[in-house]
Amino acid sequence: MTESRTILGIDPGTNLLGFGVIRVDASGKPHFVDMGVLDLRKISDPYTKLQCIHEKVGALCTQYNPDDLAIESPFYGKNAQVIFKLGRAQGSAMVAALMHGAKVYEYAPRKAKMAICGNGAAAKEQVALMVEKTLGIDIRSKYLDATDALALAMCHYYQLTSPLTSTSAATSWEKFVAANPDRIRK
């Protein structure tokens, strides 16, 4: 990665929506920018919640101009209604980001936890601790949904910077070696 970029991470929810913003400098180092939680619990109308999500993500995009949106994909649960609600929240956030020119990338919760903690079943507190250590910040416990969003942004950063996830690496070892001669030991 030779260009700086801003990544907005979103942990969608219809009650609490976490967001986290990181900026990757030209040398490829990630830096903490912002994080927070949108509390929607006092709003009873589900469509008003979706409107609030769309407006908040749009405002974040206006403020930080992200290149990419890393968002948690809904995961299968026992209650289909929960999946539908999460999908709607996710869709509202995605449309807002797309309208502001950001590219959208989805990550399963387990993948983000694996990228940050090395354990796909890590607890929110473990994720928060690793995000704190990685980005050199202090996080209060009220921001656990925001740390999940930062973990998604960091997961996307790792995807961008890993030679094993690039398209040239995925197609063949020969292309990987040709594209990364400095990474090969003889």
What is residue 61's three-state secondary structure? Answer: helix
**11: annotated active-site residue:** yes
Catalytic residue (one of 11, 45, 138, 148): 11
Both structure tokens of 146: 């925001």
What region does 20 belong to: left with phi over 0, alpha with psi -120 to 50, or beta?
Answer: beta
Catalytic residue (one of 3, 45, 68, 72): 72
- How many angstroms separate the Cα of 132 from the Cα of each of 24, 91, 140, 143? 16, 29, 10, 12
Which residues contact residue 143 at a Cβ distance below 8 angstroms, ignoring those fewer than 6 apart?
18, 35, 36, 37, 128
**145: annotated active-site residue:** yes
Catalytic residue (one of 68, 106, 125, 145): 145
Residues annotated catalytic, as ranges: 11, 72, 145
